[in-house]
Amino acid sequence: MEEIKEVVAMTRLGQMLYDDGLKAGKSEGRIEGRIEGSDRMASLTKKLLEADRMADLQLALDDPGYREKLMKEYGIK
């Protein structure tokens, strides 16, 4: 009976550890994604400012699809 109890406890513990690891991984992924997105937007902003494309910069801020089009145009990945 004690062995069964130990196995069940370890299963629950294993699940808890797995769940905690999953949460931590998702959190790290979100942070990395935000940093990457911010870096991409900064690069695009610099390129558009250098090219004196203020109207395109404004559109990029308002329209995610247009922003991605400009990032492809400038080779920003």
11-65 pLDDT, tens digit per residue, is 777 677 778 888 998 999 999 999 999 999 999 999 999 999 999 999 999 999 9
Closest alpha carbon to 44 in 75, 11, 71, 77: 71
For the beta carbon of residue 36, count every other beta carbon within 10 angstroms: 11
Predicted model pTM: 0.70
Rg (CA), the chain: 23
Residues 44 and 67: beta-carbon distance below 8 Å: yes
Q: Would you kindly state where each structural domain of the chain is located, as residue ranges?
A: 2-73
